[in-house]
Amino acid sequence: MTFTEILTVIWRRKWIIIIVTVLASAIAITYLQRQTPNFESSTTLRISPLMTEAVNTGILAGHPVDVDPSVATTPVVLSEAEKQLGTPKGSLAGTVSQAAVETPSDTTATFKITAQAGDPKTSQQSAAAAAAAYSAYLDTVVASTQKALAEQLGEVSDEAKSYQNDVDKDPADQLAQTNLTAALAQINGINASITSLQTAGPSATVTAPAGTGATLNPSTLTVAGVALASGLLAGLGLALARDYLDSRVRRTDELERATNLPVLGQLANDRRAKRVTGFLPAENSESSPLSEGLRALRTTLQVALPAKGSVLVVTSVEPGDGKTFVSANLAASWARTGRSVVLVAGDLRRPGLDTYFPDSCTGPGLGGLLAAPRDLLTFPEVSDIEAALQPTSIDGLRVLPPGTLMDDPADAIATPRMMRVLSALSDRADIVIVDTPPSLALADASAIASLADGTIVIATMNHTRLPLLSHVVATLRANSATVIGTVANRSKHKLPRSYSAYYLAESIPQPALERSSNRSVDGGKLSRVDHIERSPRAMTPGRDRVLVVCTANESRSPFAAALLLATANEHALEVDSAGVEATTGRPASQSAITHASELGLDLSDHVSAQVDPASLDTYDLILTLTREHARMLLATTPDIAPRLFTIRQFTRWLDANERPAGVTLGTWLDDESDQSILDFLGDNPADDIEDPTGRTTARWKTMIAHLDEAIAGIAAGLYPRYSSLLPVPAQRTRRP
């Protein structure tokens, strides 16, 4: 997963991260409110050398003693501390601890006694009391040892006196002499021990008195920081795991990977499609992202399907994906271009076309044609099929309603009658659109799709699951259906702001110019196939003729045309520019003029022009800024495919193909180019150059950089002998 994909997941799953972070913060707040206050205070004791030896050996003046500092935590010592504090017996149990402190000297030991309590003052008092009690305990041990030595001294002295009497009575008694000598030596040793205890000084000295207790509880800032970090990390992990396990389609490239099919179009999410019954944005001249998406889908399908008598099946993965909505609007959009369209209610289980055409969904319809008790081999006749068609309020659009079918729809559709119905309809219409049931669990759509020229599968963004979509496409293909591609419905993909002028503009007034007979007008707005009739411009013999096409012919295409003419050998080619939705006679945008002048290009005299389909075949090369522009041109003039490229496509094509000498550009492309309509289906950002109109300077610089790189490659590929003359982009000037 790339860093960009991780950021996308974080944004998409931001509510999971926010909720987990808030939950962690709530737990932290609860912890802070419920935790018991705890404070700690310590005091340091230094043990005398004599007592240090006793601690190490357990022997004091020849007597075994228990003076290890650990005794400070036992009831023997703590009971005295509790008496000093006036607290109940056992109240200090478990609250006092001791630990050795490393010192440079080995003759004296230092220990720290620590006490914990619910407030700082009590912890200080407890530590001081425990240290004092331990010191008192050591003094008691010393006193007890001295008393024991004194008693031992008295006993030994009595023995010495007895031995002395024996010696006085018999000076020659050697045994008495020996015992007397030993007793006197023992008396001297005891006296030395008593003297050392008396002169040893205090058993323990406080070197660091207990201070006011410090809190052991974590600070609010620490808890908040840990909670925030933990919440963010846990939320991020949960979001990534949720996204990894979530198989719903999020991006169009996921659709392409799951099906190995192009995405033919993206239909914007419009809430009116759910709120308004029978919503048909394609029926009128409404300009909105959804209506433009429907028209773009229609244009793409015009390129992918036969020009006359084609049968298109529209299906989906699951109910509710919008297949009937797409079918109805595609039919309306096609009819508005002057085509003859038949919309077939192929969903005989839960028909929905009556929502969009309530007055046209009466009569026996398809169900009657498939279920009539007549000869299976001859019925229905063409007259029966014609009689079943119902007109609509849209010129050129007729509907074959669902009718009533008592048999199983899948069995009825599988009979030869269905093939005869579709064959008869395709002979009498430019396009037949069949709305079928969802394909996941029903065989109806597969049976009809096997009889059609093409099938599209509707997928709902953020809803359709990719494994189910893959299964549907595989099932359709297994039934010999020609699946053209998928349609991303209810997409939240936002188009550039520069297109808002097209969506929100009032109807464009018709110029007072003669128009060709094949023009099509949608509510006053020129359609993509509308053009101004004019005579082809005279071309200079021997020169390559190039046409650059964008949308309005006010920014990208004039900029690219001027850049190509300035970069290449202008004596070897002639360059025109036009727009598929241009308003004839408009100047270049001010931003285009400004940015062009920075490169030494002059667009001040540019006048926009509409694409003339009749003159497209006069050009050797046609370059578009996006795949969508190419599809619009192919919809009107499909024969230009070998000479049609996006600018970036042509740059890559030239990298792999060397232009031969003595052959015109058009002839070379006709012979060598394998471009076809399939090369323009779906979206590929690597082929498109985005419109910067109405956007930031950074977007203009991005467009210029893309154009400069691509056109430099085109100039070098077409005219290699001039490649060494290519100027540096920042210093490029237009040749006179």
Q: How many domains does the chain have?
A: 4
What pLDDT is recorded for position 296? 86
Query: Can you name the residues that pair with 621 across neighbouring β-strands?
Result: 546
Tens-place pLDDT, residues 23-75: 988 888 888 778 788 889 999 988 888 888 888 888 888 889 888 888 888 89
What pLDDT is recorded for position 522? 35
Within a domain: 510:
no
User: Of residues 367 and 511, which shows the higher confidence score?
Assistant: 367
What pLDDT is recorded for position 727? 41
Within a domain: 299:
yes
Within a domain: 626:
yes
How much is the mean pLDDT over the chain?
A: 82
- Same domain as 563, residue 420: no
- Percent of the residues in the chain that have a pLDDT greater than 90, as a whole number: 25
Instruction: Give buried/exposed letters for 149-176 (b at 16+ CB in 10 A, else e).
Output: beebbeebeebbeebeebbeeeeeeeeb
- Same domain as 180, residue 73: yes
User: Of residues 268 and 434, which shows the higher confidence score?
Assistant: 434
Q: What share of the chain is helix, strand, coil (3-state, %, to 5)?
A: 50, 15, 35
Residue 247 CA to residue 416 CA, distance in Å, equals 39
User: Which domain CATH number covers 479?
Assistant: 3.40.50.300
- Percent of the residues in the chain that have a pLDDT greater than 70, as a whole number: 88
> From residue 369, how far is each of 165, 239, 404, 442, 469 by CA, in Å?
149, 53, 9, 21, 31
Tens-place pLDDT, residues 68-97: 888 888 898 888 888 888 889 888 888 889
Encoded tokens for 671: 């012979």
Residue 525 has pLDDT above 70, yes or no: no
- Same domain as 211, residue 222: no
What pLDDT is recorded for position 570? 61
> From residue 81, how far is each of 55, 68, 138, 598 by CA, in Å?
21, 17, 14, 90
Query: Which string of DSSP letters, residue by residue, matches 595-624?
Result: HHHHTT---TT-B--B--GGGGGG-SEEEE
Within a domain: 635:
yes
Domain extent, residue 31, equals 3-35+217-245
Residue 548 CA to residue 315 CA, distance in Å, equals 37
Residue 334 CA to residue 431 CA, distance in Å, equals 8
Per-residue pLDDT band at 374 (split at 50, 70, 90): low
- Same domain as 195, residue 272: no
- Same domain as 478, residue 374: yes
206-215, 608-617, 688-697, 713-722: which is most confident: 608-617
Per-residue pLDDT band at 726 (split at 50, 70, 90): very low
Q: C-alpha 21: how far from its chain's center?
A: 19
What pLDDT is recorded for position 523? 32
Within a domain: 80:
yes
What pLDDT is recorded for position 5? 66
User: Which domain CATH number covers 642?
Assistant: 3.40.50.2300
- Same domain as 669, residue 546: yes
Tens-place pLDDT, residues 454-499: 999 999 988 898 999 999 999 999 999 999 999 999 887 655 444 4
Within a domain: 65:
yes
- Same domain as 704, residue 676: yes
User: Of residues 248 and 724, which shows the higher confidence score?
Assistant: 248
Q: Of 553, 555, 497, which is closest to residue 696 (Cα–Cα)?
A: 497
Within a domain: 76:
yes
pTM equals 0.55
Among 147-156, 370-379, 567-576, 590-599, the minimum mean pLDDT is found in 370-379
Domain boundary among 435, 460, 495: 495
- Same domain as 564, residue 480: no
Tens-place pLDDT, residues 227-247: 888 888 888 888 777 767 777
**For the residues 193-216, what does the mean pLDDT come to?**
85
Within a domain: 531:
no
Domain boundary among 440, 461, 495: 495
- Same domain as 231, residue 179: no
Query: Which string of DSSP letters, residue by residue, matches 383-402?
Result: HHHHHH-EE-SSTTEEEE--
Tens-place pLDDT, residues 410-466: 888 888 888 999 999 999 999 999 999 998 878 888 999 999 999 999 999 888 989
Residue 528 has pLDDT above 90, yes or no: no
Report the run of H or E that residue 20 belongs to, with start and end: helix 14-34
- Same domain as 105, residue 23: no
What pLDDT is recorded for position 435? 94
- Same domain as 308, residue 234: no
- Same domain as 109, residue 20: no
